[in-house]
Structure 1
Amino acid sequence: MRVVVVGAGEVGRTISATLEDSHDVVVVDRDSQSIDEITYAYDVLAIQGDGTEISTLRKAGIEQADLVVACTDTDESNIVICTAAKSRSNAFTIARVRRRSLLETWEGANDSFGIDFMICSDHLTAQTVFRISGFPAAQNVDSFVGGRIRMAVFEIEPDSPIAHQTITEADRYDSLTFIAVFCEDRIELATGDTVLEPSDRVVVVGRPEPVRKFANQVATHVNDAADEVVIAGASEIGIQTAKAFEEHGYHPRLLERNTARARYASEQLPGTTVLEHDATDREFLSREHIGEADILISAFETDERNLLMSLLGRHIGVDKTVAIVESFQYSELFETVGVDITVNPREETAEEIVKFTRENHTEKIVTLEHDRAEVFEIKVTDDSIFTNREIEAAMSELPDGVIIGAISRSGEFVTPRGSTVIEPTDHLVMFVDSSVLDTVVPVI
């Protein structure tokens, strides 16, 4: 597949890193330094130029493109790029936008702008934050098969009730499968004898209710749900996050020191209490009892303020801290110094885009541990290695690092066992170590 990516920011770089070994990738950007960095870092063709100009798109081979991804920092430019690409090719076009209003306009008008798929980074990030917030101790949460199957990643803390237990001892729920354990320097596929040690991250897949019950079992110091929600920063992501909570019946509090942004937020969020004040003021936080919150979401425009706010939240007693991290390289730093969860909007966006480069039956992709592994949903086709075969027989032909976590058959949940026969049109939720992705994806 020939993929043209316009925009060499973090989304473009993440897509390049993911696809360079398996696809013909061309990256376009106006900044010469970004082009030089892309050229040296990845096995892609990098072209300097303005992606809104037809001459630049022709240099990128737009006529032969199968997929065009417009992910510059300007919404309007991304729309123009997709429109231009559509006029010169049969490529599938994807536009990344920041404003939710553009997404809503596109959703309400068929074939508008010549865009086949539109992603709103802020909205996508807000939805991710909301999903994570409902699960105690979860570092990552996602849904598959229309919400009928849930995946979650939990860190085992030293005082967790299941620390030092084997998976057989910790597994107390039907319709729940332990998939893998991320240790400090390795990935271990889960078996009954696998011991859950402190600081390990365990990946589980199952029906939503058993996953929630397991979350409560893992947790040691947080409530069953995030009832008291505080959001620091009326950025677009902050406002979209508050709106996501509102839409599910919550009444969050939002802290913003800028008068104009605070006023705008209060107009947009009728179910949110907007407090105009500096969120890093210790006296203010004490007076408003912010330390009693179940979750504090730091959604400022800068990573530095989000880090400061998260650490301050932990210091005053907030149960769970979530920080929006714009710079990919900072994510591990935030987690190392004590921030519970980081969400990177660009990583979320790239993850959503990459699924379009797989075969048509790949329904959804979630990357784990900063691309160490993937969990994805596929719809089984007639030519799949699994079709009409027992799982054990099919898995014997695949490399290590692959496990089926759940099966959805005609809307019903099926717990995978070695003797389970996979049928055409089954939906499989699979865990795959990134090191074997290129071998596994073509045959499943």
Structure 2
Amino acid sequence: MKIVIIGDGKVGHKLTIQLSEENYDVVLIDQNEGKLKEALNQLDILCITGDGADAKVQKEAGVPGADLVVACASTDELNMLSCLLAKRLGAKHTIARVRNPIYYQQIDLLKEDLRLSMAVNPELAAAFEISRSILLPDTAKVETFMKGKVEMVEFIVKERSHLGGVSLAELYRKFQIKVLVCAVRRGSEVIIPNGDFVIHDGDRLHIVASHKYIEEFFHLIGKRKEPKNILVCGGGKVGYYLAKQLLGLGMQVKIIEQDWKKCEDLCDQLPKATIICGNAADHDLLIEEGIEQADALVSLTGMDEENIILALLQRQKVWTRSWQRSTKTDVPSLSRNLGSI
């Protein structure tokens, strides 16, 4: 399968690594020759220097015979134009990264004319995952399947929990819940449990069910707490999408953003949200804006280090549960080890 990737940014580079490791025939297009040389030295791929929206460059990359073209350059306009051109040249399928909220809202109207097989919005997907975690605050991790219809959550059984010492068969008989405990991690051991399996303190239960039944499960075991006040640090695209989703669920959302122009735009786009223009790293500002009363803090600033520090600070103060966004591939594992999420 031949795949052409346009754009050697963070997303494009990560995608190139994964696909090349799976032995796909990958061609990478980017205007930065230095970055392409680095990718060529690391990976078994073909690199073409040039503009991804240039027909000559696309022909040189073999787009007319490609099975898939993925455009993930820095601008939405370039991505959509590149995919339109690739389809005209004969590519079988095209995928464009579209991040602008205005463009993405109208993507269904543009999809046919642009001949897009799919449009992806990483910021919207990230906001969706964060909102799921906020709705299920007692979970350590939430994964979605079947377009969000089914969820798998990781739930850590705390010390002296009333679940400790209870078998799964007893749990089902007592609560009559429609969830499946598909795996349990106990220390370094992973167990596929049956009805006789007895839950111990510290076990990590991996539970599969629809969102409705997972909420019901946490409500029945006394772990369900409805979040109401959410503080978002950073008013970028992820912050906008997240606030819009949470406001739609009836929550109170406050956004702290340093850029005045962004604050003005957010006030117009999210009239029900409270927008504060200030530095989210300012401890006094966080206190003034009610961090102690917030049910959750979500740190979505443009700096990974600042996001991690904010998340760690709030956890140590025992004010709220926190989430942080990372754009670097090596940061998520570090933040998990630090215990910020």
Band the TM-score falls in, shorter-chain normalisation: 0.7 to 0.9
Question: Higher relative contact order by CA 8 Å / sep ≥ 6: 1 or 2?
Answer: 1
| Counterpart among 194, 203, 207 of residue 204 in structure 1 | 207
Q: Is contact 2:151–2:208 with CA below 8 Å preserved after alignment?
A: yes
Distance 2:321 2:165 in 1: 23
Within a 5 Å distance, the mapping from 1:157-236 to structure 2 comes to 157-158=158-159, 160-162=161-163, 167-168=168-169, 173-182=176-185, 187-192=190-195, 201-216=204-219, 224-236=225-237
Within a 5 Å distance, the mapping from 1:35-434 to structure 2 comes to 35-145=36-146, 147-158=148-159, 160-162=161-163, 167-168=168-169, 173-182=176-185, 187-192=190-195, 201-216=204-219, 224-340=225-341
Q: Secondary structure at the match of 2:106?
A: helix
Q: Secondary structure at the match of 1:300?
A: coil
Residues 130-153 of structure 1: CA deviation (Å, up to 9, x unaligned)? 122101222333444465433223
How far 1:298 sits from its partner (Å)?
Answer: 0.6
Q: Is contact 1:296–1:318 with CA below 8 Å preserved after alignment?
A: no
Distance 1:61 1:32 in 2: 19
Q: What corresponds to 1:434 in structure 2? A: none
Distance 1:215 1:326, change over 3 A: farther
Matching residue's letter, 2:123: D
Matching residue's letter, 2:181: F
Matching residue's letter, 2:89: R
How many residue pairs match? The answer is: 338
Q: Is contact 2:19–2:26 with CA below 8 Å preserved after alignment?
A: yes
Matching residue's letter, 1:275: I
Q: Is contact 1:141–1:150 with CA below 8 Å preserved after alignment?
A: yes
Distance 2:87 2:145 in 1: 31
Q: What corresponds to 1:405 in structure 2? A: none
Q: Is contact 1:155–1:201 with CA below 8 Å preserved after alignment?
A: yes
How far 1:219 sits from its partner (Å)?
Answer: 8.0
153-162 vs 125-134, greater mean Cα deviation: 153-162
Q: What corresponds to 1:355 in structure 2? A: none
Q: Secondary structure at the match of 1:152?
A: strand
How far 1:16 sits from its partner (Å)?
Answer: 3.1
Question: How well do the aligned residues superpose, as a CA RMSD in angstroms?
Answer: 2.8
Q: What corresponds to 2:13 in structure 1? A: 13
Distance 2:19 2:183 in 1: 24
Distance 2:189 2:15 in 1: 24
Distance 1:30 1:125, change over 3 A: same
Distance 1:181 1:35, change over 3 A: farther
99-108 vs 256-265, greater mean Cα deviation: 256-265
Q: Any unmatched runs of 5+ in structure 2?
A: none
Q: Secondary structure at the match of 2:142?
A: strand
Residues 206-228 of structure 1: CA deviation (Å, up to 9, x unaligned)? 133331233457786xx522211
Matching residue's letter, 1:54: A
How far 1:310 sits from its partner (Å)?
Answer: 1.2
Distance 1:261 1:306 in 2: 19
How far 1:125 sits from its partner (Å)?
Answer: 1.6
Q: Is contact 2:227–2:251 with CA below 8 Å preserved after alignment?
A: no
Tell me the TM-score normalised to structure 2 length: 0.86
- Calculate percent identity across the aligned residue pairs: 25
Matching residue's letter, 1:138: T
Matching residue's letter, 1:103: Y
Distance 1:167 1:90, change over 3 A: same
Q: Secondary structure at the match of 1:108?
A: helix
How far 1:191 sits from its partner (Å)?
Answer: 4.2
Tell me the TM-score normalised to structure 1 length: 0.68
Distance 1:194 1:325, change over 3 A: farther
Distance 2:198 2:40 in 1: 43
Distance 1:139 1:175 in 2: 20
Distance 1:193 1:28 in 2: 55
Distance 1:135 1:81, change over 3 A: same
